[in-house]
Amino acid sequence: MSSQAISIRDLHKHFGDIHAVQGISLDVQQGEIFSLLGPNGAGKTTAISILSCLLEPTQGDALVMGHSVTRESAAVRAVIGVVPQDVALYPDLTARENLLFWGKMYGLRGRPLAARVDEVLETIGLTDRQKGRVDTFSGGMKRRVNIGVALLHRPQVIYMDEPTVGIDPQSRRNILDSVKELNRQGMTVLYTTHYMEEAEELSDYIAIMDHGKVIAYGTHPELVRIVGEQDRITLTTSGDYDGLLDRWRRLDGVSRVSTEGEDTVTLLATDGNIILPRVFEEATRAGVRIASVQVQEPNLEAVFLHLTGRALRD
Amino acid sequence: MKLLDIALKDMTRHFRSAFGLVMMFVAPLLVTGLIALAFGGLAGDGGFSLPQTRVVVADQDEGGDAGFRAGGLLLDAMNDPDMASYMVVSTAADPAAARQAVELREADVAVIIPPDLSAAVTTHDGSAVVEIVHDPTLTLGPGLVKAVVDGVVDAFNGARIATHVTAAQLAEQGLPGDRVVGQVAMRYAEWVQAQGAERDRGEYAAIAIQPPPGVADDVSLGARIIGTIAVGMVLFFVFFTAASTAESIVREDEEGTLARLFTTPTSRSTILAGKLLAVGLTLIVQTIVLILLARLIFGISWGRPLAVTMVLLGTIVAAAGFGVCVMSFVQNTRQSGPVMGGVLTVSAMLGGLMTTGIPNLPAALTTVTLFTPHGWALHAWKLAMEGAAAGALVAPLLVLLGYGAALFGVGVIRFRRRFA
C-alpha cells in the first residue's frame, strides 16, 4: 500500500466564473502534518471541502488513503475526521450529548461509544463540563468540542480548517498542542491556516496557496530559501510616503517594497541592520517621519510577500 | 438506526426549546380557553353560564270564566324554580311602571300582559298581544324571556285549537258539546302538564334527543362548542409545528452541522429522512398530547377511537408534507419567520381554521377550504367529532394522505437538489 495519505491531482473547482481552486496537485505522506497556508479567499476551504466529499471537483481527483473522493466518497468519509472552520455543534445539546450523537454518525454504538466519548472528553479537557450545554461554553471550549467530534472514530486522516480563528491565546496554544499530540499518535493532519506562525510551528510540509493555486510547496526551510537570506523590514510612517517608495526601491540590497494599509510599508532586504540607516536617511530627505520599525529574519510571511507582492493578511 | 438517531436528536432539540413547547402545547389550549371564556365562560358542567335577567311583569289580565286566569299561568311559568337561575321576576302595578323600570335600567325586560288575555284564550276567534319590552343592548336575556312566553302562549293556542276542533266535530254530528269540550280542555291541560313533568325528569316521550353515535353522551353542549374552536386551534398549531420542525434543515445548514453530517459516513438520504422522521414523530406526540389535554380540560369528545386514529394519521401526514414543502422554499432562518407566519396564517384562513366557530359559512368559502390540506383536516376532524364511523372518513383520509405525499414530494425534491 502506498504511504501517501492524500494524493491530489490537477484539482479544479469553479463556481460560475469564480475559479476557487485552479489545478492543485499535492501529496501528503501518512503521519505528516501538512499545512495549507494562504490568505482568506486563497481556496484552502474549497480544497478541504472537496477532500471531505462536500463538493464535487470540476476537474481532477484526489485519493485519500487510496480512495477516490469522486468515486468512493463513502470510503473516504469513513477514514477522515473534519474540524470545520466554524464551530459546527448543536448549541442546545450538552458536550457529551454532542459527542454521543456524532459518534453514532460515525457508526459507534453502545459501550464502545460511551468509552470513546469519555476518552475524547479527557483529551479535550472537558470531562468536568461534559454536562454543560454547548451554548454556555466559551469560544475556546466550543473549539475543543469541535475538534473532539472529529476524533471520535479514530480517523486515519484529520482535516483542520483554521481551527484557531477567533479564540484566545491560551485556547490556541491548547489546540496547537493537541494537533501535535494527534500527529504523535500517528494521525495524518491536513491543517489550513492564514497564520504563518502556526504553519511554521506545526508543519512537516507547507503548501502556500493564493488565488486557488499552490504557489510554493516544501518544508519550512525549503520555502524560506526561496527568498534567500532576506530580512523583512516593516515600517510605520506618518505623512505621505508615495514619493519615498521609489527612493527605497533604488537602495542597494532592497529587493521589494510593498505597502500595507495607509501607513505601513514592508521592505525585503539582504541585511536589515545595514540597510536601515539609509532607509531613515531617505525618509528624512522626503520629510516622512518613521514612527516604528520592525526587522524580521526570513520567514513564510516574507516568502508570501516575495511571491505575491502582498502581505499574507491582505 | 442512524435515521432514528437523527430524528431523536432533532426532537430533543425541539422539545428543549421553550418557544417550541409553548407553540406546540400551551398556545393552542390557551387560545381555545380564551375564546371559550370570551363567549360566556365555562360553567362547572362544561356548559355556558348566562347572566340572570331581571324581568318585571305588568299583569293586567282580567280573567275568564270560572276563575280561569291566563295571565296568572304565564306569571307562574316565569316564576318556575327551574328558571330561577336565569331570571328574577317582579311585578309592576301597570304597563307604564313596567316600561319605566326598563328605561331606568331597573329591569332588563318588561312583560305586559293585556287585560283580555284570558278572554282571548277561551274564545276560538279571540286575540290578544303580550308585549315584551327590553333593553336594546341585551339579546340573550330577552330571548330567553320571549322563549318562555312563547311556550306558554303556544300551550294556550294548542288547548284552544283542541277544544275548537272537538266542538266543531260534535256540532257536525248534532251532539251537544259544552260538557265534552270542557273535558277536552282539561285533558289537554293535563297532557301539557305531564309533558312538562317528563321534561323535568329528563324523559322525552315525544322527541328523543340523543348525541350522535360515537360521541360520549356525557359531553355537554359547551364542550361541543369549544370542540369546534379547539379543533381549529389544534390544527393551526400542528401545521405550525410541522413547519417549525422542518425548519431544522435550514437551521442546521446555517449552523454548519448539516455540512458536517455530510462529511460522516452517513448517506444524504438517511440524513434527510431522519430529519423528516423527526417532523412526523413530533407531530404524533403533539397531536396526541393536545387531544388528551383538550379532553381533560374542556371535556371535548373527539369521536370514535378508530376514526380519531385515521384523522390523526391524515392530519400528521398532510401537516408534515406542508411543513417540509414550505421550508424547502426558505433559504435561511431570517426568511423562515415571515414565511411561516404569512403562509401559515393565509393557508389557515383559507382552510377555515380561523372560522370554525361560525356556523353556516357561505358555500363559496366552504368550497375554498377544500383546496387546502387544512380545510380537509378540519372537515375530517368535524366528521369524527360528530361521531362518523371509519367508513365515512376514508375519503378525507385519502385526500389528506394525497396532499401530504404531494407536498412532501415537492419538499424532498427541492431539498435533495439543494444539498446534492
CA angle B206, B212, B213 (to 5 degrees): 115
Q: Considering only CB atoms, which chain A residues are within 8 Å of B263?
A: 52-54, 77, 80, 82
For residue A21, give the 3-state DSSP assignment: strand
Phi, psi angle pair for A208, to nearest 5°: -90, 125
Residues 6+ apart with CB under 8 A from A93: A101, A133, A134, B9, B12, B13
Question: What is the pLDDT, as a whole number, of residue B213?
Answer: 56
Query: How many CA atoms are closer than 13 Å to the CA of B276, on its beta-carbon side?
Result: 26
% of chain B with per-residue pLDDT over 90:
35
Helix-, strand-, coil-residue percentages of chain A, each rounded to 5? 40, 30, 30
Cell of residue B76, nine digits = 307562574
Hey, is A5 helix, strand or coil? strand
Given a contact cutoff of 8 angstroms between Cβ atoms, the answer to whether B128 and B119 are in contact is: yes
Q: By the 8 A CB rule, do A210 and A194 touch?
A: no
Q: Are B9 and A93 inside 8 Å of each other by CB?
A: yes
Residues in B 279-318 with any Cβ partner in A closer than 8 A = none
Q: Is the pLDDT of residue B13 over 90?
A: yes
Chain A residues in contact with B21 (beta carbon < 8 A): none
Residue of B14, B263, B269 best to disrupt the A interface, most CBs of A under 10 A: B263
Residue A307 to residue B381: CA distance in whole angstroms? 73
Q: Does A165 touch chain B (CB under 8 A)?
A: no
Across the interface, of A82, A90, A105, the residue whose CB is closest to B2 is A105
Question: CB A90 to CB B9 under 8 A?
Answer: yes
Between the alpha carbon of residue A301 and those of residues A193, A236, A248, B138, B280, the distances in Å are 13, 17, 20, 87, 54
Q: Which of B196, B191, B189 is nearest to B68 (CA)?
A: B189
Distance CA B5, CA B22 (A): 25
Q: How far apart are CA B247 and CA B6, in angstroms?
A: 14
Helices (DSSP H) in A17-94: which residue ranges? 44-51, 73-79
Least confident stretch, A246-255, B208-217, B283-292: B208-217
Over 80: is that where the pLDDT of B43 sits? no
**Burial, A71: exposed, middle or buried (Cβ in 10 Å; 0-12, 13-18, 19+)?**
exposed
Query: Do the chains contact at B12 and A97, CB–CB below 8 Å?
Result: yes
Average pLDDT over residues B54-74: 84
DSSP output for A189-204: EEEEES-HHHHHHH-S
Q: Could you give the C-alpha distances from B121 to A270, A313, B127, B355, in angstroms and in order?
A: 130, 107, 7, 46
Q: What is the pLDDT of residue B340?
A: 84
Instruction: Kindly state the cell numbers that stand for B374.
Output: 387544512
Residue A189 main-chain phi, psi, to 5 deg: -120, 125
Chain A partners of B1 at a C-beta cutoff of 8 Å? Answer: 104, 109
**In this structure, are residues A247 and A282 in contact, taking their beta carbons and an 8 Å threshold?**
yes
Name A267's bridge partners: A233, A257
**B19 Cβ under 8 Å from any chain A Cβ:** no
pLDDT of residue B40: 56
CA-to-CA separations, B110 to B97, B117, B148, in angstroms, rounded: 9, 17, 13
> Residue A165: which residues within 8 A CB-CB, separation 6 or more?
A85
Mean pLDDT, to the nearest integer, of B165-172? 82
Question: Which are the contacts of B393, defined by CB distance < 8 A and separation ≥ 6?
Answer: B307, B310, B311, B380, B383, B384
| Chain B residues near residue A101 by CB distance under 8 angstroms | 5, 9
Cα–Cα distances (Å) from A214 to A24, A310, B4, in that order, read 6, 15, 43
Q: What is the pLDDT of residue A39?
A: 87
Name the residue among A77, A91, A149 with its Cβ closest to that of B265.
A77
Angle at A194 between CA A189 and CA A200, to 5 degrees: 60
CA distance A53 to B264: 10
Helix (H, G, I), strand (E, B) or coil at B56: strand
Residue whose grid cell is 321534561: B199
- How many CA atoms within 13 Å lie on the side-chain side of A212? 15
Is A106 strand, coil or helix? coil
Which of B378, B384, B342 lies closest to B361 in space, CA to CA? Answer: B378
| Residue A158 contacts B where some CB pair is shorter than 8 Å | no
* pLDDT, tens digit, 9 for 90 and up, residues B87-133: 899 999 999 999 999 999 899 999 999 998 888 877 767 788 999 99
Residue A287 is predicted with a pLDDT of 85
Residues 6+ apart with CB under 8 A from B121: B64, B68, B70, B128, B156, B159, B160
Q: Pick from A56, A83, A85, A104 the residue to mutate for testing the B interface (most B CBs within 10 Å).
A: A104
Grid cell listed for B77: 311559568
Name the residue with higher pLDDT: B12 or B178: B12
| Owner of C-alpha cell 366557530 | B357
| DSSP helix/strand/coil, A19 | strand
Measured between alpha carbons, how far is B236 from B347 in angstroms, rounded to an integer? 9
Predicted pLDDT at A273: 83
What stretches in chain A show pLDDT beneath 70?
1-2, 312-314
Average pLDDT over residues B388-413: 92
Residue A240: CA atoms inside 13 Å, Cβ hemisphere, count?
2
In B26-50, which positions are buried (b, 16+ CB within 10 angstroms) versus exposed (e)?
A: eebbebbbebbeeeeebeeebbbeb
pLDDT at A303: 84
The yes-or-no verdict on residue B46 having pLDDT over 50 is no
Given a contact cutoff of 8 angstroms between Cβ atoms, the answer to whether B319 and B343 are in contact is no
Using the beta-carbon criterion (under 8 Å), do B13 and A93 form an inter-chain contact?
yes
B364-377: per-residue pLDDT in tens?
888 888 899 999 99
Q: What percent of chain B has pLDDT above 70? A: 86
Dihedral sign from CA coordinates of B35, B41, B44, B46: negative
Q: What's the CA gap between A200 and A204, in Å, rounded?
A: 9
Give the distance, in angstroms, between the CA of residue A103 and the centroid of all CA atoms in the same chain. Answer: 26
What is the Cα–Cα distance from A230 to A267, expressed in whole angstroms?
10
pLDDT at B66: 67
Q: Is B305 exposed, middle or buried (0-12, 13-18, 19+ CB in 10 A)?
A: exposed
Among residues B4, B26, B80, the alpha carbon closest in space to that of B233 is found at: B26
Which phi-psi region, left, alpha or beta, contains residue B155 (left: φ > 0; alpha: ψ -120 to 50)? alpha
Residue A96's alpha-carbon distances to A99, A109, A163, B34, B275, in angstroms, are 5, 14, 20, 42, 21
Distance from CA of A21 to the nearest CA of B (A): 19
Give the Å distances, CA to CA, from B52 to B84, B141, B143, B145, B223.
Answer: 8, 7, 12, 11, 22
* Residues in Cβ contact with A252 at an 8 Å cutoff, skipping those fewer than 6 apart: none
